[in-house]
Amino acid sequence: MINSLNVKLQRRFALSRQGAKDLVKGCLACVVQDISFMLPVGLLYQFVMDMMDGGAGSGKITFYVTGVLFCLAFIFTATWFQYNDTYLATYVESGVRRISLAESLRKIPLSFFGKKDLADLTASIMGDCATLETAFSHFVPSLVGSMISTTLIAVCLFFYDWRMALAAIWVLPVAFAITLFSSRIQEYFKNREMEANIALEKGVQECIECLQDLKANNAEKTYLKGLGAKIDHAERRHIVTELATALFVVSSTLILKFGIATVVLVGSILLIKGEIGIPLFFMFLLVASRLYAPLEGALQNLAAVISTKTNINRMNEILDHPVQTGSDNLTNQGYDIVFDHVGFSYNSRETVLKDVSFSAKQGEVTALVGPSGGGKTTVSRLAARFWDIDRGKITVGGMDISKIEPETLLSLYSIVFQDVTLFNNTIMENIRIGRKDAGDEEVIAAARLANCEEFAAKLPDGYHSMIGENGCELSGGERQRISIARAFLKNAPIILLDEATASLDVDNETLIQTALSRLIEDKTVLVIAHRMRTVSGANKVVVLKDGTVAEQGTPKELTNKDGIFAHMINLQMVSQKWGI
């Protein structure tokens, strides 16, 4: 039963197994703490009874002093456990949750990221986690603790007088019913608020990233006007959500206030009739005054817990998404890449590849060319299992890559993307990403092969110079060479080049191609290229158009064929002659 409860809590609140256990402990700690706050009420009741019976003797004074000290010690101990089992445990769970999300994102197919953007994912990992951190430290345990402790106290009240007990607790189910009834309404407003927040975050991020283009086109005022509208919309959504929540919470709290009134009214009637005594009436007044205080906060907590459902659903979307799995054992014989009738679509409505078949031999350079949107980049990503295909088969050395764990498979690949990603670190550490255990001499050797030495020598600290966020201190060609140096350092048997020399000038392109010729010896090379100069040295060319293999063969064969490839060469020759 306990395991079943933990599983439900894991699912409901996007918790780890330990997080679910800690949540239960936190709720129980809150129950004990709430009950501890009732001890002074009982002590005060006993003191009043003694005073009405003629006062307290010296023995009674010792009893009350001891009772006060006991109450303080018990409350202190209960609060100490409550703090540790809620706040401290929540902070640990928050770290675990962020790591779990990051691990899930690492294993999720890249097709998932085509449906999400950076602002959305950042909001899930940072914003949603922070929201749940607050919920599990302030809201959920205290809410559950208040409900359980109130139920226990209410049951005890029935042993004294069922009529007075009903007068005290009838407001509780009514107040909770109002708040629970509002759950769907609050969820609706919370979803709209989240959508407005995401739109605003996207706008701010886009503004920062595109500021140069906005300035170049005198479009800042127009863009900022639209961004201002998004800010206003997000503000309105926040206000509406708060008002919707407050409407039900205030109504519930108002109902609770009637509890004291009914206790006074019913107690007065029963007292006049002589059916209860003054001490019992006084006790119920004391209990009622203390009974509703935690519940007022609990109702606000209930509204807050309801509103977290949106955040939890967004996180569960990541945690529940199917991940790419496979064997850790490589069984390939050689490194030939074979596409066998491969079909692929990013979603059910957009077919990208249709029945693609070709082979890239080990020791040869296979070039992927064709019009934009033909599927070249998709093919290279599928070869490394960045996505899983819909039909057909892709093998490396006869090994079906769909059955190999992605990280294990990627140990066979060195990849140079057209869009280079660098980290705010030194040149040395950015290159060392290619192989983390590489020594400095190995890193520098790879850097020299990629012609990085020229610009590194001009920097104040050489290879130990910081290059800024995403290499902002470097030119496009310099950033590209660092990326190529990573591939040299990794020295994997399969190389994927996505227009690796696109950002280089003619001189540097020649140097890099010379270095690449040494790197690719006896390796399988798949290169995406638009410049025919890059393709001219390839052993095989695969022309992709509209998601199919339109032509394939050697550069010479395809040139003589007078097809798409020959047409592309002619167009580039014409463009080279163009001038202003």
* pLDDT tens column, 189-230: 877 887 888 888 888 878 887 888 888 888 888 888 888 889
- 460: nearest Cα among 473, 448, 472: 473
399 pLDDT tier (thresholds 50, 70, 90): very high
Residue 571 · residue 396 · CB < 8 Å: no
Query: What does the mean pLDDT of the chain come to?
Result: 81
> What is the three-class DSSP state of 331?
coil
- Which pLDDT score, from 0 to 100, does residue 336 have? 92
Which has the closest alpha carbon to 295: 173, 162, 155, 131?
173
* pLDDT at residue 171 tops 60: yes
pLDDT for 422: 85
What is the per-residue pLDDT for 47? 76
Give the pLDDT band (50/70/90) at residue 504. low
- Using one digit for the tens of pLDDT, what is the confidence trace for 279-293? 788 788 877 777 777
In angstroms, the Cα distances linking 139 to 62, 129, 131, 170, 543 are 39, 14, 11, 24, 60
Query: Which pLDDT belongs to residue 400?
Result: 93
pTM > 0.85: no
Say whether pLDDT at 33 is over 80.
yes
Q: What is the mean pLDDT of residues 123-148?
A: 78
- Buried-state track 216-228, b at ≥16 Cβ within 10 A, e below 16: eeeeeeebeeebe
Amino acid at 518: R
Q: Is the pLDDT of residue 533 over 70?
A: no
Question: If pLDDT is split at 50, 70 and 90, which confidence band does 55 have?
Answer: low
pLDDT at 573: 66
Tell me the C-alpha distance between 467 and 430, whole Å. Answer: 9
Q: How confident is the model at residue 502 (pLDDT cuts 50, 70, 90)?
A: low
Angle between helices 440-449 and 476-490 (to 10 degrees): 120
Indicate whether 129 pLDDT > 90.
no
Contact 129, 346 (CB under 8 A): no
Q: Which of residues 74 and 294 earns the better pLDDT score?
A: 74
Coil vs helix vs strand at 303: helix
> Residue 244 is encoded by which pair of tokens?
């919707």
Q: pLDDT value at position 3?
A: 65
Residue with tokens 């957009």: 350
Least confident range of 46-50, 395-399, 472-476: 46-50
**Does the pLDDT at position 380 exceed 90?**
no
Which pLDDT does position 507 carry in this prediction?
A: 66
pLDDT of residue 62: 80
> What mean pLDDT do residues 18-22 have?
81
* pLDDT at position 72 over 80: yes
What are the beta bridge partners of residue 132?
A: none
pLDDT at 509: 67
**564 CB-near residues (< 8 Å, 6+ apart):** 370, 371, 543, 545, 550, 551
The domains of the chain are located at 2-319
Longest dimension (CA), the chain: 119
CB 249 within 8 A of CB 298: no
> Which CATH class for the 2-319 domain?
mainly alpha
Share of the chain above pLDDT 70, in %: 88
Range in 157-166, 261-270, 324-333, 515-524 the model is least confident about? 515-524
pLDDT at 401 (0 to 100): 92
Cα dihedral 267, 272, 274, 277 sign:
positive
- Residue 345 pLDDT > 70, yes or no? yes
Quickly state the pLDDT bin for 394 (edges 50, 70, 90).
very high
Task: Give the pLDDT confidence score for residue 536 in this predicted structure.
Answer: 74
Q: How confident is the model at residue 392 (pLDDT cuts 50, 70, 90)?
A: very high
Residue entry with tokens 């705010």: 424
